[in-house]
Amino acid sequence: MVVVLALNSGSSSLKYGLYAVEREPVLLVGGTIETTDDHSRFFDTIETTLRGWPAPMAVGHRIVHGGPHRDAHCRIDDAVLADLEAACAFAPLHGPASLALIRAAGARYPGVSQVACFDTAFHAGMPDIARTLPIPREYQAVGVRRYGFHGLSCESIVRQLGGDMPAGLVIAHLGSGASVTAVRDGRSIDTSMGLTPSGGVMMATRTGDIDPGVLLYLLRKTELDAEALATVVDHASGMTGISGLSGDMRVLRAAATEDADLAIRMFERSVCKQIAAMIASLGGVDMLVLTGGIGENDAPTARAIRAGLAWVPGLEIRIFSSQEDAQIALHAAALG
C-alpha cells in the first residue's frame, strides 16, 4: 500500500486528499482550501487535517498545462520544473500557482517524491487532424497546437467504465470550465479545448470558441492591451458576461431573469454543438457521459442536452462523478 497526498490546484481553490493506494485508491481524508498567495500556509491547514493519519509517501499534483515537452505523467525533477516554468506562457493563470505549490510541498515534505499529473496527457495521442491548428507551420514548430484539457477527469471516466467501455464515447466535463472529448476504444481522438483551456464550450467566465475577428476588432478599436483582453476572454465573458450576474449555474437558475435564462440556453446549446462535433469525429457514438459540477448535479442541463440530442439514435446518456483526485493518487503511487 502506498499513501499519497493528491493536490488538485484550481484557479480559486485547492482540493487535497490523502489516499491509500493498492489496486484502487481509497480516500482517507481530504478537504478544500480557498486559494491564497501564501502556498506555505496551505500545508498548515492540510497537516491539521492529516494529523493522526500516515505520512504521505508521495505527493501528486494536477498540472493543467505541461507545454510542448511534457505529454506524460512523471516524477518532478529539475528538468521537469524548467519545462513547467516555460509552460507558464500557455497557462498563466494556473502555471505559476502550480509551481509555487510544488516548491511549498518540497519544503514541507523533503525527500518525498513529487509527481506531475498532466491534464493534457490523455490527449497526447490525438491524430494530426485533431491536434493541428490551422496556422502557419512556423508557429506549430514552437508548440502552438491543440493540447486538450480535463484529461484526468476523462481518465477517471475510462477507469470507472472498465469493461463497460463502449467503442465510441463522448465525455462532457461540465463545470465552471467545460470541455467535450471524443474517445475511441478508451483513447482521446478529439476534444473541444485547444492551445489553452479558453476554447470550445461557452463557460462560466470564458468565451469558449469565438470568431477571432472579435478579438482583433477589440484590439484595433478599443484601448484594451493583451492583458486586458485576456481578462475579457477568461474572466468576464461566458455566462457571466451574458447574464451580467454570475457564471454559477445555481445562481442563474435562482435568478430567473431574462439575461440569466439566455446565458443558460446559450451554454446548453454550446454543449450540444460540441457534442455533435465529437460525434462527427467518432463517426457515430454509443454513449455520452456527463460529469463535472454541472454535469453531475444540474438536472435541467442534463434534460436540455438530452432534448438537444434527441436526433441521435440509440444514444445512452450516463452521469458519472469526476474522480480527478483519485486519478492523481493512482499516478503518484505508480511513479513516486
Could you read off the pLDDT of 72-127 as tens digits, one per residue? 999 999 999 999 999 998 888 789 989 999 999 999 999 999 999 999 999 999 99
User: Facing residues of 180 across strands?
Assistant: 172
Q: Which of 38, 44, 71, 119 is catalytic?
A: 119
pLDDT value of residue 93:
79
Which three-class secondary structure state does DSSP give residue 200? Answer: coil
| Gap between the Cα atoms of 225 and 230, Å rounded | 9
165-319 classified as CATH 3.30.420.40? yes
Q: Is 119 a catalytic residue?
A: yes
17 within 8 A of 324, measured Cβ to Cβ: no
| Gap between the Cα atoms of 323 and 155, Å rounded | 9
Lowest mean per-residue pLDDT among 41-45, 97-101, 249-253, 265-269: 41-45
Grid coordinates representing 291 are: 460529469
| Gap between the Cα atoms of 133 and 148, Å rounded | 12
258-294: pLDDT as tens digits: 999 999 999 999 999 999 999 999 999 999 999 999 9
Residues 6+ apart with CB under 8 A from 244: 259
CATH dotted code for 2-118: 3.30.420.40
Residues 6+ apart with CB under 8 A from 211: none
323-335: pLDDT as tens digits: 999 999 999 999 9
**Residue-range domain boundaries for the chain:** 2-118, 165-319
Grid coordinates representing 250 are: 445555481
Grid coordinates representing 279 are: 460525434
| Gap between the Cα atoms of 293 and 40, Å rounded | 28
- Percent of residues, the chain, with pLDDT higher than 70: 98
